[in-house]
Amino acid sequence: MTVESEDTNYAALPALVISGTTIDNEPKLAVPTDTVFYGIGMPPLRVAPRAIWEDPHLPTLKGVRITAELLQPGPGDRLLLRSHPTADGGLRVSGHEILWNSTSVGQLSGQDEGRSLVITLNAAASPSVAHTILRSIAFQNTLSEPERRNRTVQLAVIHPDGGRAVVQVPVRVSWVRLADFQEGVDGGYGVYTGQHDAEIFEQMADISFPAGHSGTADEPRMWVDARAAFTTEEAQALIRFDNIIGEQPGQIPPGATIVAAELHLTVVDSGDGSPMFRMLQPWDEQSGTWVTFGYGIVPDAVVARDQYESQIGVAQVAGSTGVGTIWVSVTPDVQAWVSGEANHGWVLTSWDADINPAWSRGTDGMAFLPSEAPNPLLRPRLRVWWVPPEIPRAEFQQGVNGYAGTKDTRIRARATNGDSDADNSTLPTAFVDWEVTGGFQNEEQVLLRFDDIIGDEEGRIPPGAVIEMAVLRLASTANNGYGDGGRFHALLRPWQDTDTWNTLDGGIQADDVEAIATPTTVAGSPDLEPNVPGGYFEFDVTVDVQAWTLGTRPNHGWAILPWPGGGDGWAIELSESAILRDRPKLAVWYTVPAPSLRLLPPRVQSGQIHLTFTGPPNTTVIVEAADAISGPWAPVGTVMIDTNGAGTFVDTTGNHGSRFSRLRHSPAGGFPSR
């Protein structure tokens, strides 16, 4: 820093140079809180492809360390640094050397053991290369039947002087895979490209708007808006994600079962939302206009389906989305595409009463950021959880396939009309609300439970099953369904759907006595912005269903409690809803642990290895062999265990002077290793 003065008594003196050191120079490391889903048999998956590392005060990265550590690892778990190819070479590892193109940028240790990595950068590492290295740290499990529990990967950036930033990333290992699509963003298996969007605008009917008709280069805006009376201001938006179905890592294979799918949009102008009709015809964002689409898109079963299965907002257009990132379920649409229907994306028509007179007219336009937004993390995003079709599933929804075990109710505090003593067991719709009457805490809580879901009968979850994923699907489709959302707490006490606020002694407390204090999942956020829009939503409740299946906790369902201060009530449909698909639904994907196999001492006869073993009757096992106990292991045959639980196999391959054998269960139906 140079100090100068305008005072003539000092101006003639030599300039005084003061050297300063930034004391608070710790790095900043940000990683999304989303759980990373590693699917059994998948290639190594990047654990923090969206990580952001800020280090503006560091003149060089020489000596900076990036570390990754598996906390409480399971058998077969490992960490490694994945390559990141580019046209010029990109990131790769040669021995312990980390190379960017052909230049050494650091040293790597720990990859052989795989439980912790230490990356030491040198002066040739630029901030962008260091970012790529951080984002290329990957997790893999090498076993065919790994432990189904969450792991934690701890990432750290450490300065030579000891300043550091540390984050933790949860990793779930199961048969569930997550495919994550956002233009220009790495979802774990490489940067995705293929998202398209367009706006067609009635007022400028013969112009195409691939980035929306308004906004700036820094904030393009894609609009959805119904025309007001005597105007020509209707706007419709189209969204499509190409290259999402296929056999490559990160894609969804044809015929897969979709567990859940979410569309995320960054809303920059709050509005009414829209139904989402699947398009039936191809379209090009560079040439499509209001005119070329026949003066706006009409869902007529020719250009677009005449029925919708996903939506943003509600048909009565009461309320609004708020500003920020919103998401809604699009599971039926993605399942249709994966099952063979052509994927032409969606059209968001607005809640246009000219299309359906039963709708109110959605003239409060909604604007969101399109795929051209400068910040890739704010572009439209499609997240899809899927499993191989062989994974068993159990579904529970009132009135479907004879199921009649859903219990739900709404309880209300301090109501002046006596509602705190009212039986609300037959309500079709309920609100989760902090201030029913406004001005003071006057809660509405929703209680929900699915009875008779565990048992040996067909259609139930077998006791002791491994829950690969359990999803609670709720509909927020009633008038003024938009709201602040709520927190889902697993209940620890019994209740009846005829209970009231008073019979439950002042409602439910999340105190680890009446309900678990930490919510299993949430809708919305504690800052209450943006709103939870109307539509369909799926919530991950795996941890609770697993506890009920193992018998470690009784199934008392959930209490959905409002956020503190969340006075904009959020509506959900209950089991008495007149619309069947809007009733709460619990869908559970599970596997049943195979009984253990026991390999008896082998014997060698005439140059052949004779194996004898015991296991579950009438099941198939795979016999694998290796010349060293560390592997590599290779299958040498399969055999069926007989009805008495005994099996034999003769191995005629390999070096019998030094030969190792092992058995493993053959997954039912032969689960693919994609």
CB contact at 8 A, 390 and 384 = no
Which domain, by its residues, includes 149?
28-174
Residue 184 lies in a domain: no
Q: Indicate if 199 and 252 belong to the same structural domain.
A: yes
Q: Is the pLDDT of residue 542 over 70?
A: yes
> Cα(139)–Cα(188) distance, rounded to whole angstroms?
10
Residue 233 lies in a domain: yes
> Cα(41)–Cα(422) distance, rounded to whole angstroms?
53
- Which amino acid, one-letter code, is at 124? A
- Which amino acid, one-letter code, is at 364? D
Q: Is the pLDDT of residue 177 over 70?
A: yes
Q: Is the pLDDT of residue 277 over 80?
A: yes
pLDDT band at 256 (very low <50, low <70, confident <90, very high): very high
H helices then E strands: how many in the chain? Answer: 4, 45
pLDDT band at 9 (very low <50, low <70, confident <90, very high): low
Q: Is the dihedral of CA 10, 11, 15, 19 positive or negative?
A: positive
Residue 179 lies in a domain: no
Q: Is the pLDDT of residue 638 over 80?
A: yes
pLDDT band at 512 (very low <50, low <70, confident <90, very high): very high
Per-residue confidence (pLDDT) for residue 670, from 0 to 100 = 34
Q: Is the pLDDT of residue 420 over 50?
A: yes
Q: Any bridge partners for residue 536, and if so which?
A: 475
CB contact at 8 A, 578 and 426 = no
Q: Average the pLDDT over each of 276-290, 561-575, 629-643 and give the range with the smallest value.
A: 629-643
- Which amino acid, one-letter code, is at 200? I
Q: Which one of 26-40, 182-196, 604-618, 628-642 scores highest in mean pLDDT?
A: 182-196
CB contact at 8 A, 568 and 531 = yes
Per-residue confidence (pLDDT) for residue 488, from 0 to 100 = 98
Q: Indicate if 106 and 122 belong to the same structural domain.
A: yes
> Cα(144)–Cα(660) distance, rounded to whole angstroms?
18
* The two three-digit tokens of residue 295, written as one number: 């003066």
- What is each CA distance from 377 to 51, 423, 450, 528, 611, in whole angstroms? 11, 46, 37, 21, 55
Over residues 561-592, the pLDDT tens digits come to: 999 999 889 999 999 999 999 999 999 999 98
Instruction: Supply the pTM of this predicted model.
Output: 0.85
Q: Is the pLDDT of residue 667 over 60?
A: no
CATH number of the domain to which 629 belongs? 2.60.40
Q: Indicate if 320 and 454 belong to the same structural domain.
A: no
Q: Is the pLDDT of residue 278 over 80?
A: yes
Over residues 132-146, the pLDDT tens digits come to: 999 999 999 998 889
- Which comes out higher in pLDDT, residue 561 or 651? 561
* Pairing mode of beta strands 91-94, 36-39: unpaired
Q: Indicate if 296 and 271 belong to the same structural domain.
A: yes
- Which comes out higher in pLDDT, residue 302 or 671? 302
pLDDT band at 59 (very low <50, low <70, confident <90, very high): confident
Per-residue confidence (pLDDT) for residue 673, from 0 to 100 = 32
Residue 1 lies in a domain: no
Q: Is the pLDDT of residue 627 over 90?
A: no
Residue 316 lies in a domain: yes
Per-residue confidence (pLDDT) for residue 97, from 0 to 100 = 94
Per-residue confidence (pLDDT) for residue 609, from 0 to 100 = 87
Q: Is the pLDDT of residue 671 over 70?
A: no
Residue 188 lies in a domain: no
Q: Is the pLDDT of residue 415 over 70?
A: no
Give the gyration radius of the chain's Cα atoms: 29
Number of domains in the chain: 4
Per-residue confidence (pLDDT) for residue 182, from 0 to 100 = 97
- Average pLDDT over the chain reads 90
Q: Is the pLDDT of residue 22 over 50?
A: no
Q: Is the pLDDT of residue 12 over 70?
A: no
Q: Indicate if 585 and 457 belong to the same structural domain.
A: yes
Q: Any bridge partners for residue 235, and if so which?
A: 201, 225
Pick the last residue of a domain from 368, 387, 406: 387
- Which comes out higher in pLDDT, residue 4 or 162? 162
Q: Is the pLDDT of residue 417 over 80?
A: no
First to last CA, the chain: 58
pLDDT band at 130 (very low <50, low <70, confident <90, very high): very high
Phi/psi class of residue 417: alpha, beta or left (left: φ > 0; alpha: ψ in -120 to 50)? alpha
Pick the last residue of a domain from 558, 591, 624: 591
- Distance from the Cα of residue 438 to its chain's centroid: 34
pLDDT band at 362 (very low <50, low <70, confident <90, very high): confident
Pick the last residue of a domain from 330, 360, 387: 387
Q: Indicate if 534 and 616 belong to the same structural domain.
A: no
Per-residue confidence (pLDDT) for residue 521, from 0 to 100 = 96
Over residues 444-488, the pLDDT tens digits come to: 999 999 999 999 999 999 999 999 999 999 999 988 888 999 999
Q: Is the pLDDT of residue 3 over 60?
A: no
Q: Is the dihedral of CA 265, 270, 276, 281 positive or negative?
A: negative
Q: Is the pLDDT of residue 630 over 80?
A: no
Q: Average the pLDDT over each of 147-151, 317-321, 393-397 and give the range with the smallest value.
A: 317-321
Q: Is the pLDDT of residue 14 over 70?
A: no
Q: Is the pLDDT of residue 107 over 90?
A: yes
Q: Indicate if 39 and 155 belong to the same structural domain.
A: yes
Per-residue confidence (pLDDT) for residue 644, from 0 to 100 = 82
CB contact at 8 A, 401 and 313 = no
pLDDT band at 674 (very low <50, low <70, confident <90, very high): very low
Residue 674 lies in a domain: no
Residue 2 lies in a domain: no
> Cα(560)–Cα(507) distance, rounded to whole angstroms?
11
Q: Indicate if 101 and 40 belong to the same structural domain.
A: yes
Selection from 161, 67, 45, 58 nearest residue 111 by Cα: 67
The burial class, CB within 10 Å (0-12 / 13-18 / 19+), for 493 is middle
pLDDT band at 18 (very low <50, low <70, confident <90, very high): very low
Q: Indicate if 48 and 161 belong to the same structural domain.
A: yes
Q: Indicate if 294 and 341 belong to the same structural domain.
A: yes
- What is each CA distance from 488 to 339, 425, 560, in whole angstroms? 32, 19, 5
Per-residue confidence (pLDDT) for residue 669, from 0 to 100 = 34
Q: Indicate if 429 and 554 belong to the same structural domain.
A: yes
Q: Indicate if 381 and 397 belong to the same structural domain.
A: no
